[in-house]
Structure 1
Amino acid sequence: MARLLYITIDGLRPDALEAAHLPTLLTLMQEGASTLCARSVFPSITLPCHMSIFHSLPPERHNVLTNTYTPIARPVPGLFEVLKHSGRRSGMFYSWEPLRDVARPLSLAVSKLIAYDHNPEVSDVRVVEAAMPYIKSGELDFTFLYLGSVDEVGHLEGWMSPAYLRQVEHVDTLLGRVLEALPLDTLLLLMSDHGGHLRMHGSEHPEDMTVPFIAWGSGIARGLQIAEQVSLLELAPTAAALLGVVPEPAWEGRVLRLG
Protein backbone atom coordinates (compact mmCIF):
# COMPACT_ATOMS: atom_id res chain seq x y z
CA MET A 1 0.00 0.00 0.00
CA ALA A 2 1.34 3.41 -0.97
CA ARG A 3 2.31 6.03 1.57
CA LEU A 4 1.98 9.75 1.01
CA LEU A 5 4.00 12.74 2.15
CA TYR A 6 2.41 16.16 1.73
CA ILE A 7 4.62 19.26 2.11
CA THR A 8 3.52 22.87 2.41
CA ILE A 9 6.20 25.46 1.66
CA ASP A 10 4.48 28.47 3.18
CA GLY A 11 4.59 31.58 1.01
CA LEU A 12 6.34 30.03 -1.99
CA ARG A 13 5.65 31.93 -5.20
CA PRO A 14 5.91 29.91 -8.42
CA ASP A 15 8.14 32.46 -10.11
CA ALA A 16 10.75 31.75 -7.42
CA LEU A 17 11.27 28.38 -9.13
CA GLU A 18 12.61 30.25 -12.15
CA ALA A 19 14.57 32.92 -10.25
CA ALA A 20 16.46 30.73 -7.77
CA HIS A 21 18.72 27.66 -8.03
CA LEU A 22 16.38 24.86 -6.95
CA PRO A 23 17.65 21.48 -8.17
CA THR A 24 15.35 19.41 -5.95
CA LEU A 25 12.13 21.18 -6.90
CA LEU A 26 13.10 21.15 -10.59
CA THR A 27 13.85 17.41 -10.39
CA LEU A 28 10.45 16.77 -8.83
CA MET A 29 8.79 18.72 -11.65
CA GLN A 30 10.77 16.91 -14.35
CA GLU A 31 10.05 13.49 -12.86
CA GLY A 32 6.45 14.18 -11.83
CA ALA A 33 3.31 16.20 -12.60
CA SER A 34 3.13 19.89 -11.84
CA THR A 35 1.63 23.30 -12.46
CA LEU A 36 2.90 26.75 -11.62
CA CYS A 37 -0.59 28.21 -11.99
CA ALA A 38 -2.48 26.63 -9.07
CA ARG A 39 -4.82 28.86 -7.11
CA SER A 40 -4.93 29.78 -3.44
CA VAL A 41 -8.16 30.90 -1.72
CA PHE A 42 -9.25 34.31 -0.49
CA PRO A 43 -8.29 35.46 2.04
CA SER A 44 -4.85 34.16 1.10
CA ILE A 45 -3.77 33.75 4.73
CA THR A 46 -2.09 30.70 6.25
CA LEU A 47 -4.82 29.24 8.49
CA PRO A 48 -7.75 29.83 6.09
CA CYS A 49 -5.61 28.33 3.32
CA HIS A 50 -4.77 25.22 5.33
CA MET A 51 -8.37 24.74 6.39
CA SER A 52 -9.19 24.73 2.67
CA ILE A 53 -6.31 22.35 1.92
CA PHE A 54 -7.36 19.78 4.51
CA HIS A 55 -11.16 20.18 4.31
CA SER A 56 -11.54 20.85 0.56
CA LEU A 57 -13.86 23.76 1.30
CA PRO A 58 -13.57 27.48 0.46
CA PRO A 59 -13.25 29.92 3.38
CA GLU A 60 -16.87 31.05 3.03
CA ARG A 61 -17.84 27.45 3.81
CA HIS A 62 -15.39 26.53 6.59
CA ASN A 63 -15.63 30.07 8.06
CA VAL A 64 -11.98 30.44 9.04
CA LEU A 65 -11.26 33.92 7.66
CA THR A 66 -8.23 34.93 9.77
CA ASN A 67 -5.39 33.12 11.53
CA THR A 68 -7.74 32.56 14.48
CA TYR A 69 -9.60 29.25 14.31
CA THR A 70 -13.40 29.23 14.18
CA PRO A 71 -15.26 25.88 14.31
CA ILE A 72 -17.21 24.98 11.20
CA ALA A 73 -20.91 25.62 11.84
CA ARG A 74 -21.93 22.53 9.86
CA PRO A 75 -18.89 20.27 10.36
CA VAL A 76 -17.34 18.43 7.42
CA PRO A 77 -14.69 15.77 8.13
CA GLY A 78 -11.22 16.80 7.06
CA LEU A 79 -8.56 14.66 5.45
CA PHE A 80 -7.08 13.49 8.76
CA GLU A 81 -10.48 12.35 10.05
CA VAL A 82 -11.34 10.56 6.80
CA LEU A 83 -8.01 8.74 6.83
CA LYS A 84 -8.43 7.80 10.50
CA HIS A 85 -11.91 6.41 9.79
CA SER A 86 -10.38 4.30 7.01
CA GLY A 87 -7.74 2.84 9.30
CA ARG A 88 -4.82 4.95 8.05
CA ARG A 89 -2.17 6.40 10.37
CA SER A 90 -1.38 10.10 9.93
CA GLY A 91 1.13 12.51 11.39
CA MET A 92 1.96 16.19 11.15
CA PHE A 93 5.19 18.05 11.84
CA TYR A 94 4.97 21.83 11.96
CA SER A 95 6.37 25.03 13.45
CA TRP A 96 3.32 27.30 13.54
CA GLU A 97 0.99 26.39 16.39
CA PRO A 98 -2.38 27.52 14.90
CA LEU A 99 -2.08 24.68 12.39
CA ARG A 100 -3.03 22.27 15.19
CA ASP A 101 -6.66 23.06 14.38
CA VAL A 102 -6.55 21.57 10.86
CA ALA A 103 -6.85 18.14 12.54
CA ARG A 104 -9.55 17.19 15.02
CA PRO A 105 -8.55 15.51 18.30
CA LEU A 106 -7.80 11.77 18.08
CA SER A 107 -7.33 11.82 14.30
CA LEU A 108 -3.52 11.80 14.38
CA ALA A 109 -1.10 9.03 15.31
CA VAL A 110 1.75 11.55 15.68
CA SER A 111 1.73 15.34 16.10
CA LYS A 112 4.92 17.29 16.73
CA LEU A 113 5.05 21.07 17.10
CA ILE A 114 8.57 22.45 16.82
CA ALA A 115 8.01 26.00 18.04
CA TYR A 116 9.22 28.59 15.54
CA ASP A 117 12.01 30.70 17.05
CA HIS A 118 12.18 33.26 14.21
CA ASN A 119 15.52 31.95 13.04
CA PRO A 120 14.89 30.91 9.43
CA GLU A 121 18.23 29.13 9.21
CA VAL A 122 17.25 26.51 11.78
CA SER A 123 13.47 26.41 12.13
CA ASP A 124 12.65 24.23 9.12
CA VAL A 125 15.74 22.12 9.81
CA ARG A 126 14.30 21.21 13.21
CA VAL A 127 10.93 20.32 11.71
CA VAL A 128 12.57 18.08 9.11
CA GLU A 129 14.74 16.43 11.76
CA ALA A 130 11.65 15.69 13.88
CA ALA A 131 9.85 14.15 10.91
CA MET A 132 12.77 12.24 9.42
CA PRO A 133 12.58 9.08 11.60
CA TYR A 134 8.92 8.66 10.67
CA ILE A 135 9.57 9.38 7.00
CA LYS A 136 12.40 6.85 6.84
CA SER A 137 10.50 4.13 8.70
CA GLY A 138 7.36 4.44 6.61
CA GLU A 139 5.27 3.82 9.71
CA LEU A 140 2.79 6.54 8.80
CA ASP A 141 0.43 6.24 5.85
CA PHE A 142 0.08 10.02 5.51
CA THR A 143 2.55 12.65 6.70
CA PHE A 144 2.08 16.42 6.65
CA LEU A 145 5.34 18.39 6.74
CA TYR A 146 5.03 22.17 7.13
CA LEU A 147 7.98 24.40 6.23
CA GLY A 148 7.35 28.01 7.24
CA SER A 149 10.62 29.88 6.89
CA VAL A 150 10.10 31.14 3.33
CA ASP A 151 6.98 33.01 4.46
CA GLU A 152 8.87 34.41 7.45
CA VAL A 153 11.62 35.83 5.25
CA GLY A 154 9.03 37.19 2.83
CA HIS A 155 7.50 39.23 5.66
CA LEU A 156 10.90 40.39 6.89
CA GLU A 157 12.68 41.15 3.60
CA GLY A 158 10.02 41.09 0.89
CA TRP A 159 8.78 38.49 -1.57
CA MET A 160 11.28 37.81 -4.38
CA SER A 161 13.99 39.77 -2.55
CA PRO A 162 17.52 38.29 -2.58
CA ALA A 163 17.03 37.06 1.01
CA TYR A 164 13.71 35.44 0.07
CA LEU A 165 15.28 33.59 -2.88
CA ARG A 166 18.19 32.44 -0.70
CA GLN A 167 15.70 31.03 1.78
CA VAL A 168 13.87 29.15 -0.97
CA GLU A 169 17.23 27.66 -1.95
CA HIS A 170 17.83 26.67 1.70
CA VAL A 171 14.47 24.89 1.79
CA ASP A 172 15.23 23.19 -1.54
CA THR A 173 18.34 21.70 0.07
CA LEU A 174 16.20 20.37 2.93
CA LEU A 175 13.81 18.86 0.41
CA GLY A 176 16.75 17.04 -1.10
CA ARG A 177 17.42 15.39 2.26
CA VAL A 178 13.77 14.40 2.55
CA LEU A 179 13.70 12.98 -0.97
CA GLU A 180 16.75 10.81 -0.28
CA ALA A 181 15.05 9.38 2.82
CA LEU A 182 11.72 8.47 1.21
CA PRO A 183 10.88 4.75 1.06
CA LEU A 184 10.29 3.55 -2.49
CA ASP A 185 6.51 3.24 -2.07
CA THR A 186 6.04 6.84 -0.89
CA LEU A 187 4.25 9.38 -3.07
CA LEU A 188 4.88 13.09 -2.63
CA LEU A 189 2.56 16.07 -3.01
CA LEU A 190 3.95 19.57 -2.57
CA MET A 191 2.11 22.87 -2.63
CA SER A 192 2.21 26.38 -1.27
CA ASP A 193 -0.70 27.83 0.65
CA HIS A 194 -0.29 31.33 -0.82
CA GLY A 195 2.27 33.61 -2.43
CA GLY A 196 2.99 37.20 -1.46
CA HIS A 197 4.00 40.65 -2.66
CA LEU A 198 6.09 43.38 -1.06
CA ARG A 199 6.13 42.17 2.57
CA MET A 200 2.54 40.96 2.76
CA HIS A 201 -0.12 38.58 1.49
CA GLY A 202 -3.82 38.00 2.04
CA SER A 203 -5.27 39.83 -0.93
CA GLU A 204 -6.63 38.65 -4.29
CA HIS A 205 -3.52 40.06 -5.96
CA PRO A 206 -2.17 37.48 -8.47
CA GLU A 207 1.16 37.30 -6.64
CA ASP A 208 -0.74 36.27 -3.48
CA MET A 209 -3.14 33.87 -5.17
CA THR A 210 -0.88 31.90 -7.55
CA VAL A 211 0.99 28.89 -6.11
CA PRO A 212 2.93 25.85 -7.36
CA PHE A 213 1.66 22.27 -7.13
CA ILE A 214 3.85 19.19 -7.65
CA ALA A 215 3.05 15.46 -7.51
CA TRP A 216 5.85 12.88 -7.67
CA GLY A 217 6.27 9.14 -7.24
CA SER A 218 5.33 5.74 -8.64
CA GLY A 219 2.32 5.97 -10.95
CA ILE A 220 2.59 9.77 -11.37
CA ALA A 221 3.19 10.82 -14.97
CA ARG A 222 6.73 12.05 -15.63
CA GLY A 223 7.08 15.60 -16.87
CA LEU A 224 3.33 16.19 -16.97
CA GLN A 225 2.29 19.83 -17.05
CA ILE A 226 -1.19 19.77 -15.54
CA ALA A 227 -3.57 21.57 -17.89
CA GLU A 228 -6.66 21.59 -15.68
CA GLN A 229 -7.11 24.30 -13.09
CA VAL A 230 -5.76 23.26 -9.68
CA SER A 231 -6.72 24.90 -6.40
CA LEU A 232 -6.03 24.22 -2.74
CA LEU A 233 -9.34 22.33 -2.64
CA GLU A 234 -7.94 19.52 -4.81
CA LEU A 235 -5.32 18.47 -2.27
CA ALA A 236 -7.49 16.48 0.14
CA PRO A 237 -9.52 14.47 -2.40
CA THR A 238 -6.41 13.77 -4.48
CA ALA A 239 -4.43 12.64 -1.41
CA ALA A 240 -7.27 10.39 -0.26
CA ALA A 241 -7.60 8.81 -3.70
CA LEU A 242 -3.86 8.17 -3.95
CA LEU A 243 -4.10 6.32 -0.62
CA GLY A 244 -7.03 4.23 -1.84
CA VAL A 245 -9.55 6.04 0.36
CA VAL A 246 -12.90 7.36 -0.88
CA PRO A 247 -12.98 11.18 -0.58
CA GLU A 248 -15.58 12.78 1.69
CA PRO A 249 -18.70 13.49 -0.44
CA ALA A 250 -19.07 17.00 1.00
CA TRP A 251 -15.62 18.06 -0.19
CA GLU A 252 -15.83 20.59 -3.03
CA GLY A 253 -12.51 19.82 -4.73
CA ARG A 254 -11.92 17.03 -7.22
CA VAL A 255 -9.40 14.22 -7.66
CA LEU A 256 -6.65 15.33 -10.03
CA ARG A 257 -5.67 13.14 -12.98
CA LEU A 258 -1.94 12.62 -12.44
CA GLY A 259 -1.23 9.31 -14.18
Structure 2
Amino acid sequence: MIVRAFLIAVMLCALIGSNNDVCAKQFNNVLIISIDALHPDALKKSKIPTLGKLMKSGSYTLNGHSTEPPKTLIAHTAMFTGLSPGENGKVGNHWAPGKTTVKKETIFDTASRHGFKTSYFYSKEKLGYLVNPAVDVHEWSRDGAIDSARSFLITPGRHFTFLHVSGLDQVGPEYGWLSPEYLEELFFIDDYLSTLVDTVIGKRNYLLIVTSDHAGHGKIHGSDHPEDYRLPLIISSDIVDVKRFQGISFSVTELKQLLANLLEEAS
Protein backbone atom coordinates (compact mmCIF):
# COMPACT_ATOMS: atom_id res chain seq x y z
CA MET A 1 0.00 0.00 0.00
CA ILE A 2 2.82 2.43 0.86
CA VAL A 3 4.63 1.74 -2.45
CA ARG A 4 1.40 2.22 -4.42
CA ALA A 5 0.76 5.59 -2.76
CA PHE A 6 4.28 6.71 -3.63
CA LEU A 7 3.95 5.71 -7.30
CA ILE A 8 0.67 7.61 -7.59
CA ALA A 9 2.33 10.74 -6.16
CA VAL A 10 5.25 10.44 -8.60
CA MET A 11 2.85 10.12 -11.54
CA LEU A 12 0.95 13.19 -10.40
CA CYS A 13 4.16 15.21 -10.23
CA ALA A 14 5.05 14.06 -13.74
CA LEU A 15 1.65 15.12 -15.05
CA ILE A 16 1.68 18.48 -13.27
CA GLY A 17 5.25 19.22 -14.24
CA SER A 18 8.56 19.32 -12.40
CA ASN A 19 8.26 23.09 -11.91
CA ASN A 20 5.25 22.62 -9.65
CA ASP A 21 6.06 24.01 -6.20
CA VAL A 22 5.08 20.87 -4.28
CA CYS A 23 7.07 18.54 -6.51
CA ALA A 24 10.19 20.71 -6.67
CA LYS A 25 10.92 21.31 -2.99
CA GLN A 26 13.44 19.33 -0.96
CA PHE A 27 13.39 18.50 2.71
CA ASN A 28 15.74 20.60 4.79
CA ASN A 29 15.03 18.77 8.02
CA VAL A 30 13.85 15.22 8.63
CA LEU A 31 13.13 14.22 12.21
CA ILE A 32 12.03 10.73 13.22
CA ILE A 33 11.01 10.26 16.85
CA SER A 34 10.60 6.84 18.40
CA ILE A 35 8.81 7.04 21.74
CA ASP A 36 9.74 3.78 23.40
CA ALA A 37 6.77 1.64 24.58
CA LEU A 38 4.11 4.03 23.26
CA HIS A 39 0.74 2.30 23.13
CA PRO A 40 -1.32 3.78 20.26
CA ASP A 41 -4.43 4.04 22.44
CA ALA A 42 -2.55 6.48 24.67
CA LEU A 43 -2.73 9.04 21.85
CA LYS A 44 -6.49 9.13 22.38
CA LYS A 45 -6.44 9.07 26.18
CA SER A 46 -3.68 11.53 27.12
CA LYS A 47 -3.42 15.30 26.74
CA ILE A 48 -0.83 15.63 24.00
CA PRO A 49 -0.93 19.07 22.32
CA THR A 50 2.40 18.58 20.53
CA LEU A 51 1.71 15.16 19.04
CA GLY A 52 -1.93 16.17 18.59
CA LYS A 53 -0.85 19.06 16.40
CA LEU A 54 1.11 16.70 14.17
CA MET A 55 -1.80 14.27 13.98
CA LYS A 56 -4.11 17.11 12.93
CA SER A 57 -1.76 18.70 10.39
CA GLY A 58 -0.61 15.41 8.91
CA SER A 59 -1.89 11.87 9.16
CA TYR A 60 -1.70 9.01 11.60
CA THR A 61 -2.55 5.38 12.12
CA LEU A 62 -3.03 3.42 15.31
CA ASN A 63 -2.74 0.19 13.34
CA GLY A 64 1.02 -0.41 13.50
CA HIS A 65 2.69 -3.75 14.26
CA SER A 66 6.04 -4.59 15.84
CA THR A 67 8.46 -7.47 15.38
CA GLU A 68 8.47 -10.99 16.73
CA PRO A 69 9.28 -10.67 19.59
CA PRO A 70 8.20 -7.04 20.22
CA LYS A 71 11.29 -5.81 22.05
CA THR A 72 13.24 -2.54 21.87
CA LEU A 73 16.51 -3.38 20.12
CA ILE A 74 14.98 -6.05 17.91
CA ALA A 75 12.21 -3.69 16.77
CA HIS A 76 14.52 -0.72 16.18
CA THR A 77 16.91 -2.86 14.14
CA ALA A 78 13.99 -3.91 11.95
CA MET A 79 12.89 -0.28 11.76
CA PHE A 80 16.34 0.92 10.67
CA THR A 81 17.11 -1.87 8.20
CA GLY A 82 13.65 -2.57 6.79
CA LEU A 83 14.30 -6.26 7.45
CA SER A 84 12.77 -8.74 9.84
CA PRO A 85 14.91 -10.09 12.71
CA GLY A 86 15.52 -13.29 10.77
CA GLU A 87 16.73 -11.26 7.77
CA ASN A 88 18.83 -8.65 9.58
CA GLY A 89 20.34 -11.09 12.07
CA LYS A 90 19.41 -9.22 15.26
CA VAL A 91 17.25 -11.67 17.19
CA GLY A 92 18.48 -10.75 20.68
CA ASN A 93 17.56 -7.68 22.71
CA HIS A 94 21.00 -7.02 24.20
CA TRP A 95 24.18 -5.22 23.10
CA ALA A 96 27.15 -3.62 24.84
CA PRO A 97 29.86 -1.23 23.60
CA GLY A 98 32.71 -3.06 21.93
CA LYS A 99 30.49 -5.75 20.46
CA THR A 100 29.63 -6.08 16.78
CA THR A 101 27.31 -3.41 15.40
CA VAL A 102 24.73 -3.54 12.63
CA LYS A 103 26.07 -4.70 9.26
CA LYS A 104 23.00 -4.20 7.09
CA GLU A 105 22.27 -0.87 5.38
CA THR A 106 20.09 1.44 7.48
CA ILE A 107 17.97 4.57 7.19
CA PHE A 108 21.15 6.60 7.77
CA ASP A 109 22.66 5.26 4.55
CA THR A 110 19.49 6.32 2.74
CA ALA A 111 19.65 9.81 4.26
CA SER A 112 23.36 10.18 3.53
CA ARG A 113 22.81 9.41 -0.16
CA HIS A 114 20.27 12.24 -0.25
CA GLY A 115 22.83 14.74 1.03
CA PHE A 116 21.77 15.03 4.66
CA LYS A 117 24.03 15.42 7.64
CA THR A 118 22.87 12.61 9.89
CA SER A 119 22.46 12.31 13.64
CA TYR A 120 21.24 9.71 16.10
CA PHE A 121 20.33 10.44 19.72
CA TYR A 122 19.17 7.59 21.92
CA SER A 123 18.37 7.05 25.59
CA LYS A 124 19.24 3.33 25.88
CA GLU A 125 22.86 2.29 25.58
CA LYS A 126 22.04 -0.93 23.74
CA LEU A 127 20.69 1.10 20.81
CA GLY A 128 24.31 1.99 20.09
CA TYR A 129 24.24 -1.26 18.14
CA LEU A 130 22.65 0.74 15.31
CA VAL A 131 25.47 3.28 14.87
CA ASN A 132 27.16 2.74 11.51
CA PRO A 133 29.55 4.82 9.32
CA ALA A 134 26.62 6.72 7.78
CA VAL A 135 25.88 8.38 11.15
CA ASP A 136 27.71 11.71 11.37
CA VAL A 137 26.77 12.58 14.96
CA HIS A 138 25.54 10.23 17.67
CA GLU A 139 25.07 10.36 21.41
CA TRP A 140 23.71 8.10 24.11
CA SER A 141 22.02 10.13 26.85
CA ARG A 142 19.47 8.89 29.37
CA ASP A 143 17.87 12.30 29.87
CA GLY A 144 19.38 14.70 27.33
CA ALA A 145 18.57 13.15 23.95
CA ILE A 146 15.80 15.63 23.12
CA ASP A 147 17.98 18.66 23.92
CA SER A 148 20.88 17.20 21.91
CA ALA A 149 18.62 16.68 18.92
CA ARG A 150 17.48 20.30 19.01
CA SER A 151 21.07 21.56 19.31
CA PHE A 152 21.94 19.58 16.19
CA LEU A 153 18.91 20.71 14.21
CA ILE A 154 19.51 24.44 14.74
CA THR A 155 22.92 24.27 13.06
CA PRO A 156 23.19 25.26 9.36
CA GLY A 157 22.59 22.66 6.68
CA ARG A 158 20.19 19.85 5.81
CA HIS A 159 19.59 17.53 8.73
CA PHE A 160 18.36 13.99 9.23
CA THR A 161 17.82 13.04 12.87
CA PHE A 162 16.57 9.92 14.57
CA LEU A 163 15.60 10.49 18.20
CA HIS A 164 14.78 7.74 20.68
CA VAL A 165 12.84 8.84 23.76
CA SER A 166 12.57 6.71 26.89
CA GLY A 167 10.28 6.99 29.92
CA LEU A 168 7.12 5.06 29.09
CA ASP A 169 9.17 1.86 29.02
CA GLN A 170 9.90 2.44 32.72
CA VAL A 171 6.47 3.65 33.83
CA GLY A 172 4.58 0.91 31.96
CA PRO A 173 6.19 -2.04 33.78
CA GLU A 174 5.86 -0.27 37.13
CA TYR A 175 2.34 1.14 36.97
CA GLY A 176 0.82 -0.48 33.89
CA TRP A 177 0.30 0.49 30.26
CA LEU A 178 -2.42 3.16 29.92
CA SER A 179 -2.48 3.72 33.69
CA PRO A 180 -2.88 7.31 34.95
CA GLU A 181 0.87 7.39 35.68
CA TYR A 182 1.65 6.16 32.15
CA LEU A 183 -0.57 8.81 30.58
CA GLU A 184 0.98 11.47 32.78
CA GLU A 185 4.45 10.43 31.62
CA LEU A 186 3.32 10.73 28.00
CA PHE A 187 2.05 14.25 28.77
CA PHE A 188 5.50 15.19 30.11
CA ILE A 189 7.22 13.69 27.05
CA ASP A 190 4.85 15.55 24.75
CA ASP A 191 5.55 18.82 26.56
CA TYR A 192 9.32 18.23 26.44
CA LEU A 193 9.13 17.60 22.69
CA SER A 194 7.23 20.82 22.00
CA THR A 195 10.25 23.11 21.52
CA LEU A 196 12.02 20.59 19.30
CA VAL A 197 8.96 20.05 17.10
CA ASP A 198 8.29 23.79 16.85
CA THR A 199 11.93 24.33 15.85
CA VAL A 200 11.68 21.84 12.99
CA ILE A 201 8.34 23.20 11.78
CA GLY A 202 9.65 26.77 11.99
CA LYS A 203 12.59 25.94 9.72
CA ARG A 204 10.10 24.77 7.03
CA ASN A 205 10.56 22.10 4.35
CA TYR A 206 10.31 19.44 7.00
CA LEU A 207 9.29 15.83 7.45
CA LEU A 208 8.31 14.69 10.94
CA ILE A 209 7.61 11.06 11.76
CA VAL A 210 6.63 9.76 15.20
CA THR A 211 6.36 6.06 15.94
CA SER A 212 7.32 3.44 18.54
CA ASP A 213 8.90 0.03 18.90
CA HIS A 214 6.22 -1.83 20.89
CA ALA A 215 3.47 -1.43 23.48
CA GLY A 216 2.41 -3.61 26.39
CA HIS A 217 -0.52 -4.81 28.46
CA GLY A 218 -1.00 -4.65 32.20
CA LYS A 219 2.55 -4.41 33.52
CA ILE A 220 3.93 -6.77 30.88
CA HIS A 221 5.61 -6.22 27.52
CA GLY A 222 7.67 -8.29 25.09
CA SER A 223 5.23 -11.19 25.25
CA ASP A 224 3.06 -12.72 22.54
CA HIS A 225 -0.01 -10.83 23.75
CA PRO A 226 -1.58 -8.89 20.83
CA GLU A 227 -1.38 -5.56 22.70
CA ASP A 228 2.41 -5.86 23.02
CA TYR A 229 2.82 -5.69 19.23
CA ARG A 230 0.83 -2.52 18.72
CA LEU A 231 2.35 0.86 17.80
CA PRO A 232 1.32 4.17 16.18
CA LEU A 233 2.64 6.13 13.21
CA ILE A 234 2.30 9.90 12.80
CA ILE A 235 3.56 11.72 9.68
CA SER A 236 3.57 15.49 9.11
CA SER A 237 5.17 17.59 6.38
CA ASP A 238 4.74 20.99 4.77
CA ILE A 239 5.88 19.95 1.27
CA VAL A 240 4.49 16.47 0.56
CA ASP A 241 0.97 15.11 0.85
CA VAL A 242 0.85 12.70 3.77
CA LYS A 243 -2.94 12.35 4.10
CA ARG A 244 -2.71 9.16 2.01
CA PHE A 245 -1.22 7.41 5.05
CA GLN A 246 -4.24 8.04 7.27
CA GLY A 247 -5.34 4.82 8.95
CA ILE A 248 -3.06 2.51 6.99
CA SER A 249 -1.87 -0.85 8.24
CA PHE A 250 1.82 -0.40 9.09
CA SER A 251 4.67 -2.71 10.02
CA VAL A 252 7.78 -1.48 11.80
CA THR A 253 9.83 -3.00 8.95
CA GLU A 254 8.17 -0.61 6.48
CA LEU A 255 9.64 2.57 7.92
CA LYS A 256 12.86 2.43 5.88
CA GLN A 257 11.03 2.08 2.57
CA LEU A 258 8.43 4.68 3.51
CA LEU A 259 11.23 7.13 4.27
CA ALA A 260 13.08 6.33 1.04
CA ASN A 261 9.89 6.90 -0.96
CA LEU A 262 9.23 10.28 0.66
CA LEU A 263 12.82 11.43 0.16
CA GLU A 264 12.60 10.50 -3.53
CA GLU A 265 9.27 12.27 -3.87
CA ALA A 266 10.73 15.50 -2.47
CA SER A 267 14.01 15.38 -4.41
Equivalent residue in structure 1 for 2:71, among 25, 30, 45: 45
Q: Which aligned pairs between 1:110-149 and structure 2 lie closer than 5 A?
A: 110-114=137-141, 116=142, 123=143, 126-137=144-155, 139-149=157-167
TM-score (norm 1): 0.83
2: CA distance between counterparts of 1:140 and 1:190?
A: 19
2: CA distance between counterparts of 1:215 and 1:205?
A: 27
Q: How many residues align?
A: 235
Aligned with 1:137: secondary structure? coil
1: CA distance between counterparts of 2:151 and 2:68?
A: 35
Checking the alignment, whether the CA contact within 8 Å between 2:206 and 2:239 is kept in structure 1 is no
Equivalent residue in structure 2 for 1:157, among 149, 158, 175: 175
CA gap of 1:163–1:109, structure 2 versus 1, over 3 A, is same
Residue in structure 1 matched with residue 93 of structure 2 by the alignment = 67
Comparing 19-28 with 135-144, greater Cα deviation is found at 135-144
Name the aligned partner's letter for residue 53 of structure 1: M
Equivalent residue in structure 1 for 2:104, among 45, 62, 76: 76
2: CA distance between counterparts of 1:220 and 1:227?
A: 17
Deviations 1:117-150 (A, max 9, x none): xxxxxx2xx2211111212235353101110111
1: CA distance between counterparts of 2:172 and 2:196?
A: 23
Residue in structure 2 matched with residue 230 of structure 1 by the alignment = 250
Deviation, structure 1 residue 107 = 1.6
Deviation, structure 1 residue 217 = 1.1
Name the aligned partner's letter for residue 224 of structure 2: E
Checking the alignment, whether the CA contact within 8 Å between 1:34 and 1:224 is kept in structure 2 is no
Checking the alignment, whether the CA contact within 8 Å between 1:78 and 1:103 is kept in structure 2 is no
Q: Which aligned pairs between 1:2-13 and structure 2 lie closer than 5 A?
A: 2=27, 3-13=29-39
Name the aligned partner's letter for residue 130 of structure 1: S
Residue in structure 2 matched with residue 178 of structure 1 by the alignment = 196
Name the aligned partner's letter for residue 207 of structure 2: L
Equivalent residue in structure 2 for 1:18, among 26, 44, 50: 44
Deviation, structure 1 residue 204 = 2.8
**Larger Cα-atom Rg:** 2
CA gap of 1:140–1:67, structure 2 versus 1, over 3 A, is farther
Contiguous gaps of at least 5 residues in structure 1: 117-122, 246-259
CA RMSD of aligned residues (A): 2.3
TM-score (norm 2): 0.80
Contiguous gaps of at least 5 residues in structure 2: 1-25
Deviation, structure 1 residue 82 = 3.4
2: CA distance between counterparts of 1:149 and 1:72?
A: 25
CA gap of 1:86–1:65, structure 2 versus 1, over 3 A, is same
Deviations 1:18-43 (A, max 9, x none): 11111121211111011011111111
